[in-house]
Amino acid sequence: MWITKSLQKPLVSLFLLCLFPLGAMAQSNIKGTVSDEAGEPIIGASVQVQGTKTGAITDFNGNFSVVAGSNATLVVSYVGYTTEKVNVGGRNDIKITLKEDIAMLNDVVVIGYGVQKKSDLSGAVASVKGDDIKNLSTSDAGAALQGKVTGVQIINSGAPGGGAEIRVRGYSSNSGNTGPLLIVDGLKVDNIQYLDPTLIESIEVLKDGASAAIYGAQAGNGVVLITTRSGNKGTSRVTYSLKAASQSLGKKAELFNASDYIEYHKYLGDMSETELVNNGYYAQTQEIDGVVTGVPGTGRFDTNWYDEVFENSWSLQHNLTVEGGNEKGHFLAGLGIVDNDGIVKGDKDTYKRFTGQLNADYKFFDWLSITSNTSIEKWKRKSLGNGYGSFLNAVVSIDPLTPAYIYDEADFGQNVAEAWNSPNHGFVLLPPDYTEENPVWYGTSKYIEEATGNPLAQRDRTDSYNQGINVRGSIAANLMPFSFLTITSRLGYRITQSNGHSYGEPYFLSSMAKSETYSISANTNAGLYYQWENFANFIKQFGQHNVGAMVGMSFTKNHWDNTSASSSDSQMILRAKHAPNFRYIDCLNDNGIAHLKAGNTPGDATEMAYFGRLSYSFADRYYLQVNFRADAFDSSKLIKDKRWGYFPSFSAGWTISNEKFFKNLVSDNAVSFLKLRASWGRNGNVNILSGYKYNPTISLGGYYYFTGEGAPGDGAVEGAQPSGMANPDLTWETSEQVDLGLDARFLNNRLSLGIDWYRKVTKDLLVNISPLPELGFSSATVNSGEILNTGFDIEVGWRDRIGDFKYGVSANFSPLKNEVQAVNETLPRYSQGGISGFNQKMKSTFETGHTIWYFRGFEYQGVYSKDTYQMVGDKEVNEANIGKALYAGYVPVLDADGNPVLDEKGKEKTQWGTVFAPNEETDMVDLGSGIPKFTYGITVNLEYKGFDLTVFGTGASGNKIYNLMVSADRPRVNGLDYWWKDSWRSEVIKNEDGTTTTNWTEGAYPDMKKTANDWNFFSSSANVFSGSYFKFKQIQLGYTVPSKFTKKALISNLRLSISLDDFFTITSYPGADPETSSFDSGASRGWDNGNYPTSKKVVFGVNLAF
Amino acid sequence: MKKVYLIAMLGVAFGFTACEDKLDIPQKAVLTTETFYQTDDDAEQALAAAYEQFQVNTMGRTTLGPGIYTPARVLANHPGDDICYGGEYYGDHEWGGSINEFRFLHTPEAIEYHYKGLYLSIYNDNLVIDYFANKEGASDYQKQAAAEARVLRAYNYFLLACYWGTPPFADHVLSSADIITNSDNEKAPENAPKSQQAYFQWVAQECENAVSDLTERASTADKEGAYRVTKGFAWAMAGKAYMYAGDFAKAKDCLKKVIDSGKYALVPGEEYMNQFHIQGDGSPEKVFEVNFRYNPAAGEWSSGSGMGWNNHSTWMEPNSFQIRSDKFVKQCLNQYTGQVTGWGSIGIPEWYGEAFAMNDNGHTKPMGETGEYQSYRFKATLLHIDDLIYGETGIESIDTHYSKMPAKHADRVKSKNIGIKSGRKGHYGQSFFIPLKHVVREGDAVEAGGTYSSVHRLNNIIIMRYAEVLLNYAECCLRTGDAGEAKKYVNMIQERAGSKTISANVDLITLKKEKSFEMWFESCRYQDIMRWSKLDNDSYDQECIARLKEQGKHIPHLCDKVQEKPSAVEGIDLNDVRWEFGDEASSRFFIFHTHEAMDQGYEVGWQEKHRLFPYPQQILDNNPNLEQNPGWK
């Protein structure tokens, strides 16, 4: 990244200048070796002759050669190591050992339109170095952040190319748009999924309001700044790395198998032996008893759908970089290939990516340098869906009695035989290897009519992909008229082009999983985004006073021009009936053309901003910083006279450990560093505004026919009505955040500790309220509501070495409290999300006093029994109620005679008690939310000689998952066997005298016979589970082959590694992996009815450098 | 170095002079409110929006888009004593079950969606009226548009008054500053009707006042005259509303005008069934119906303003009306319906099927192989379970050529290849008579040139059928002492139906029975019972109320002894078995009963408070000025 470099150099030279004494001595060629404490050569270390411009860079073997006087002093430095000064003292074979700079005191971090020394920071900025993430198996820079930074939560998707979502310090909006602003090498980007971690120099996360304020209205959800690597100064180098991951299915949900399924449904009474025999499930009736008594394998089929659907697969990542540099400039060219065939059998879940990176900078004059970064990405993704009627729901919902494939018409499921015998075989979907001679069909259920059917069929009927090309880049000129002033003009751009294609034809799997339409669609999206920024950085030292100032402006424009075309009808729409080679819009027949629909409206969005920063520090003890930004957005977002917003921030720091009194009191060995920070800042979130929301117009569309004659479409009169209510006051969401921080290092810098406390309040949430319905609008958009996120960011690290054995432990903990503090007076509570198509009463709810999108449902209290009958006010046990579920709910207050007590208004008094049938209006309570209350990450690094071992894990706790795999209105659909396994069961025994006795087996859950159809139960805390987990993300063993062996093959560095990624997960959740068991990351967070499961990976890695 | 300064200065100057006008991006493809609502074309488009809103939000699935039902039909029909809520099991299709069994502790979504939908619809009526009714120099067309919107609005308020008594009143577009309260509240506008009765009066007067600006149906053959509000519909609604208001003389006058216009007629008995299918669209009997047509320009899920045909239509309702396929060994109505699956959510209470059969056919037997007599009306409305399973009715498209169907009736009766599946506690909520009237017929989903899918029926939704006009007229005649005139029209209905009962004397009870058979599931029954039980409370009304009170307490399960003997049925009480022909020997199908809602702790059955629906809780929460209906607090 050019900014870093351009400012680093003046900073470094400033530093060096102070150190250089004057003087010159007799010159001779001095040779030496630079190595680290383990004796490994350091490649690329800088060896400078003090007081001169002469210098050298160490080679592969750490050797250098420099012309210097025999009494000269060599200044040897290398990033991450302490700089050593060595007097030549007449020697000519100098061995120099650099110590690792544990404190990284002089680390420079990127802070937005500038850089700052880490030790000078007064805001909360987290920094991750490329080295910490380069060996991860992910190809997504976002996913690589998981567990590495406190206060940052990553929401992963298990699917290939799924893309990780980033949340910085909580969830500050009711909208789904709560991701941070992403800036790569100064360019605002739409995602960072394209960035391979190996190309990254560093990632900075601006967490507090003060640090982020320099990005104003877009920074309300934090800012992630990424710097890609530029070429190494010194020797040119070629590096290659390969990561080959063998992926296999991770945690599965605990579903019914065949014998349990039969036992369960026979118990419920909705499946009889007769039905099983009629369906040909058993050859003989006797076998039934075999199953019921738990002898497995006696049935005809016992399909484990996970095994039928998933298989081991490979994901490969290649990265090749060539880099080099000298005093004038740097160059890096990188090539990356990702080829991930997901774990679903076949090739319907794939992610392929090709990326090229070109980074170059060159200093033409002392006063002018030019930097350019370019990234070219080509991607293609095929994915399978979740939700109602989807592939992923099918995996968990189809019954285990249905086989994956059948070979005999007698095994057809419900209604399939009939369809098969109708014209066109009723569009019964056929597997690709079907032939008339050797027929094979997808297994279809004889027991359930379901919208999903066989998942393999759902997979095969999907024929769609998305692909695109993105070019992202920037070019900047850097003017340095004085040593203390740098003026920068930078143009950033993104050129995006993407296409999607899909084709579907009628199919029949069951009467609910079917389609009667042919459809085809194609879309082309083209976009150009550019940003132009000009800013000037001033930095100067006056004695002990350090003064920095920055002022700048930016203008950005986004233009898109997307075109779509589609056609669908129940009659054939293509010229060649089923030929795959005719699945293009060009091949529509007359009917297809008659149904052709196209869409296109180009759009633009623009914004401009002025911003500035003042920083001041005194004697490395006191730090002050002020940021200010004024942002204006175009008229599609805000009305003209409300378009400007102002975002100030203030921060201050105090390094106590540099105070004399402190040094006198405390030994440097005990407390090496101690600093306090405090900040306040205001940010905005503008993602939520678009499409002229403030301005209602007459919208056309909607038709009525006053006529009954004519061809379709003739005589339709298009309706016109206002599109909504005007709201000229609309504005962005605004966050204000206070941060108090402490950075400390103890015991000679071996122990480090960072704690931040923050309190972030976001107000003016954009809420779609339902105005009073009598006004005639179904919804209106207003700014209303407030969310609080508060918590601690805690980081602890320990690094030490014992001889050749180096080790480090770092851990971070992020407790978070999220609470809605206000919504809207007309809308104190509202629900959204969920998964459509599934019937239940649970609601994802947004309400004052609760976590955002909490699960609002009934509180399950246990089972009516001889021990609990009094809970519902029974004086004695009512046998008929034994085994029923009990819920919390309001009950009438009764007087001594059992009559309801009335209040002054004549209304029946109620109190919170226990009921059988809770009331949806009054008895629903907060059952937790999908948002973790606590996330953490732990990394352990061990190094010994050439070996290194990394154990890295992350976890979350306090989050809940609502499992929606079992539903009351469709009890035969498969799902978790969790409740059944621990439920009350009755057995009726006939006594000799003809009476019957009911024997009960007790459990934690009610008698399913009385519960399987109870919506309340499946909308209660009984199926809200803890989603807490701890996952070993990576256990990696690496070995770096000593260079003395490899250099014969001209290899300067060779590292081999093997790692187990996502291999072990500790959780109590009975569904699949709790990390990815979520329908989406917004209002339906934590809703699980089948999602792409996480895969376990064994990753083989090779890193080579030449 | 001077060059450097120059460049730097230029850079700075250049950088800081970007123009703010780049932020002005005009909105594409829109019209503004200020310039619209001027011309006849504008009036037509605004009126089309009002009709579309009527279609979507009054009669259709509403913009809010509930699942598989239309709120209007649910509120009008499901509380009736002639409906039994079915489905796969108890708990399936809760939206209708909770209303049918009067166990909605909470506000069911159907109530909320209908309430909101009606006001969304009224808003569009008010736009047309506000802009064109009192416009200076309004053209005839603009006046007509305003008059049509006025009658649509009156109809919307008629439903609101039926269900909520004194709902908020808005005769113009409201602003968010307006106080919205019950029409009988002192804060309500002065002209707001102060009682349910006054509301019905207001509706009737609105319709009467609009008549002069409306067009008239050209003749009984004028289909388009049924697709929009005409003088005929305005009179019919005025009459109905006066009748609800208890002003029978005025009602009689209004209804007589419809009859005397000569623009409407009952279709012959042979065509009775067609009234509920696409062949009956715009028939002489249709006074007003919402016109559905296939429109290739309107997407299935969305179009223009974001409301696709799924919201306009009764999307998925065909599935819920169709018999439940997975309960039958062989899906019986597949060919009849085309592709519609069937969720069997509507059942017929035992009393109703038998009373209807006795009235129209003179017996309760199936048509069977002997071709026992059934009236046109009965055949169009209900199917005996034997006729459904054995396919012997002669109704076109009911499958008879099923390969495994035995050739002889005697073998069919014993055949395991047909019938009701075992192991599922029978067919929930069904009796020996299966509803057929609204089951979609294959052609209903297809119009020349295309179809969305078979679950979008394209036959129109009837708002007012001439038969209802005649029955309402007959009632008003009876109540004004004109029994002779009443008999004339009741007999006309009976004769057309092909009923075995042609009444020699017509009194109110005769009329009430006749209406219950003629208008099954046509949004009359529940409101009629509510009205009659207050007006007359005669023996018939008391029976109706008694039945409503029992709703949800005896849900029939229809079973098949060939597939599963009674003793093998889970949860059966063997003392509670009813055979279709009285005894086990002569019957194949039997019924037993459950009451699962009660078992789960719900209070079921009609109570006095159910005369009005509750205001949706969410709306009350947001509006302190709106008061809940009595009994619901």
- Determine the residue of chain B that is closest to A572 in CA distance: B450
CB contact under 8 A, B176 and A771: yes
**pLDDT, mean of residues A139-155:** 88
With bands split at pLDDT 50, 70 and 90, how would you rate the model's confidence at A174?
confident
CB-based contacts of B387: which residues, under 8 Å, 6+ apart?
B366, B367, B368, B393
Highest mean pLDDT among A7-21, A1033-1047, A1054-1068, B320-334: A1054-1068
Asked if A191 and A322 touch (Cβ cutoff 8 Å), the reply is: no
Dihedral pair phi/psi, residue A953, rounded to 5°: -140, 155
Distance of CA B528 to CAs A570, B334, B347, Å?
42, 34, 20
Using a CB–CB cutoff of 8 Å, tell me whether B222 touches chain A: no
- Count of H helices and E strands in chain B? 23, 10
* Amino acid at the residue B392: E
Tokens at B475, concatenated: 């009632």
Give DSSP secondary structure letters for B517-563. HHTTTSS-HHHHHHHHHHHT--HHHHHHHHHHHHTTSSEEEEEETTT
Using a CB–CB cutoff of 8 Å, tell me whether A718 touches chain B: yes
Using a CB–CB cutoff of 8 Å, tell me whether B39 touches chain A: no
CB contact under 8 A, A705 and B31: no
- Residue (of A809, A1036, A808) closest to A938 by Cα position: A809
Give yes or no for residue A13 having a pLDDT over 50. Answer: no
pLDDT-wise least confident of A19-23, A735-739, B338-342: A19-23
Full-model pTM: 0.82
Q: Could you tell me where the beta strands, DSSP code E, fall in B181-282? A: none
Q: Please, which residues 423-452 of chain A have a Cβ atom closer than 8 Å to chain B?
A: 448-449
Angle at the Cα of A217 from the Cα atoms of A216 and A219, rounded to 5 degrees: 70
CB contact under 8 A, A1013 and B91: yes
What is the reported pLDDT for A15? 37
With bands split at pLDDT 50, 70 and 90, how would you rate the model's confidence at A38?
low
Instruction: Give the residues across from A532 on adjacent strands.
Output: A491, A555
Distance between CA atoms of residues A164 and A171, nearest Å: 16
Tokens at A466, concatenated: 């998305």
CB-based contacts of A1103: which residues, under 8 Å, 6+ apart?
A239, A240, A241, A1053, A1054, A1055, A1056, A1057
CB contact under 8 A, A449 and B599: no
Query: Which residue would you say has higher pLDDT here, A300 or B39?
Result: B39
Query: Which residue would you say has higher pLDDT here, B157 or A703?
Result: B157
CB contact under 8 A, A720 and B447: no
Asked if B386 and B369 touch (Cβ cutoff 8 Å), the reply is: no
* Element of type H or E holding A365: strand A350-365
Residue listed under structure tokens 């002759």: A49
Angle at the Cα of A196 from the Cα atoms of A190 and A197, rounded to 5 degrees: 110
What is the reported pLDDT for A11? 40
Using a CB–CB cutoff of 8 Å, tell me whether A572 touches chain B: no
What is this model's ipTM? Answer: 0.90
* Amino acid at the residue B202: W
CB contact under 8 A, B341 and A512: yes
CB contact under 8 A, A776 and B123: yes
Residue A924 burial (CB count, 10 A): 26
Using a CB–CB cutoff of 8 Å, tell me whether A774 touches chain B: yes
With bands split at pLDDT 50, 70 and 90, how would you rate the model's confidence at A290?
very low
**A1006: chain B residues, CB-CB within 8 Å:** none
What is the reported pLDDT for A942? 94
Residue B479 burial (CB count, 10 A): 19
Using a CB–CB cutoff of 8 Å, tell me whether B5 touches chain A: yes
* Amino acid at the residue A173: S
For the sheet with A843-847, list strands across it.
A829-832, A843-847, A854-857, A925-929
Collapsed DSSP state (helix, strand, coil) of residue A266: helix
Interface test with A, best of B7, B106, B293, B332 (most A CBs within 10 A): B293
Q: Please, which residues 984-1023 of chain A have a Cβ atom closer than 8 Å to chain B?
A: 1010, 1013-1016
Distance between CA atoms of residues B369 and B387, nearest Å: 9
What is the reported pLDDT for A1050? 81
* Amino acid at the residue A389: G
Tokens at A230, concatenated: 């530029």
Distance of CA A1034 to CAs A147, A157, A203, A341, Å?
11, 17, 20, 20
Angle between helix axes B140-164 and B109-132 (nearest 10 degrees) is: 150
Residue A53 burial (CB count, 10 A): 7
Give yes or no for residue A955 having a pLDDT over 80. Answer: yes
* Option in A712, A916, A1014 nearest B295 (CB): A712
* Amino acid at the residue B462: I
Give yes or no for residue A281 having a pLDDT over 80. Answer: no
Residue B588 burial (CB count, 10 A): 23
What is the reported pLDDT for B406? 86
pLDDT-wise least confident of A304-318, A936-950, B106-120: B106-120
User: Minimal Cα–Cα distance from A825 to chain B, Å?
Assistant: 7
**pLDDT, mean of residues A330-344:** 94
Give yes or no for residue A312 having a pLDDT over 70. Answer: yes
* Element of type H or E holding A280: none
Distance between CA atoms of residues A435 and A1020, nearest Å: 49
Counting Cβ atoms within 10 Å, is residue A76 exposed (0-12), middle (13-18) or buried (19+)? buried
Query: Greatest CA span in chain A, whole angstroms?
Result: 121
* Option in A271, A511, A718 nearest B325 (CB): A511
Counting Cβ atoms within 10 Å, is residue B141 exposed (0-12), middle (13-18) or buried (19+)? middle
- Residue (of A418, A658, A446, A260) closest to B402 by Cα position: A418
- Determine the residue of chain A that is closest to B53 in CA distance: A702
With bands split at pLDDT 50, 70 and 90, how would you rate the model's confidence at A636?
confident
Using a CB–CB cutoff of 8 Å, tell me whether A791 touches chain B: no
What is the reported pLDDT for B71? 93
Give yes or no for residue A234 having a pLDDT over 80. Answer: no
Read off the pLDDT of residues A390-418 as tens digits, 9 standing for 90 and up.
888 889 999 998 989 998 888 888 778 88
Q: Please, which residues 94-133 of chain A have a Cβ atom closer than 8 Å to chain B?
A: none
Q: Please, which residues 363-422 of chain B have a Cβ atom closer than 8 Å to chain A?
A: 403, 416, 421-422
Question: What does DSSP assign to residue A858?
Answer: B
CB contact under 8 A, B296 and A367: no
Distance between CA atoms of residues A517 and A501, nearest Å: 17
**pLDDT, mean of residues A537-546:** 92
Distance of CA B520 to CAs A285, A723, B352, B427, B436, Å?
46, 39, 10, 22, 11
* Amino acid at the residue B300: E
CB contact under 8 A, B293 and A712: yes
pLDDT means per 10 residues in chain B (633 residues)? 60 61 82 87 95 92 80 95 91 87 82 94 96 92 97 98 97 89 95 97 98 97 96 98 98 98 97 95 96 77 57 81 85 78 91 97 92 94 93 68 79 90 87 94 75 80 97 98 96 98 96 98 97 97 98 95 89 92 95 91 93 90 89 83
Query: Which residue would you say has higher pLDDT here, A322 or A579?
Result: A322
Collapsed DSSP state (helix, strand, coil) of residue A898: coil
Asked if B487 and B478 touch (Cβ cutoff 8 Å), the reply is: no
Q: Could you tell me where the beta strands, DSSP code E, fall in A945-1080? A: 947-957, 960-963, 985-990, 996-1001, 1024-1026, 1029-1041, 1053-1067
**pLDDT, mean of residues A905-922:** 87
CB-based contacts of A994: which residues, under 8 Å, 6+ apart?
none
What is the reported pLDDT for A885? 95
CB-based contacts of B177: which residues, under 8 Å, 6+ apart?
none
Length of chain B: 633
**pLDDT, mean of residues A581-604:** 90
- Residue (of A371, A372, A366) closest to A480 by Cα position: A366
Distance between CA atoms of residues B37 and A102, nearest Å: 74
Distance between CA atoms of residues A44 and A57, nearest Å: 5
What is the reported pLDDT for A523? 94
Interface test with B, best of A265, A698, A845, A1017 (most B CBs within 10 A): A698
Please give the radius of gyration of chain A, using alpha carbons only, rounded to the nearest integer: 33
Parallel, antiparallel, or unpaired for β B427-428 and B555-560?
Answer: antiparallel
What is the reported pLDDT for A4? 42
Angle at the Cα of A905 from the Cα atoms of A900 and A908, rounded to 5 degrees: 20
Residue listed under structure tokens 């799997």: A509
Asked if A67 and A29 touch (Cβ cutoff 8 Å), the reply is: yes
Query: Which residue would you say has higher pLDDT here, B503 or A421?
Result: B503
Asked if B604 and B103 touch (Cβ cutoff 8 Å), the reply is: yes
Asked if A447 and A438 touch (Cβ cutoff 8 Å), the reply is: no
- Give the burial string for A544-568 (b: 16+ CB within 10 Å, else e): eebebbbbbbbbbbbeeeeeebbbb
With bands split at pLDDT 50, 70 and 90, how would you rate the model's confidence at A298?
very low
Query: Greatest CA span in chain B, whole angstroms?
Result: 118
- Residue (of A863, A858, A859, A861) closest to A1006 by Cα position: A863
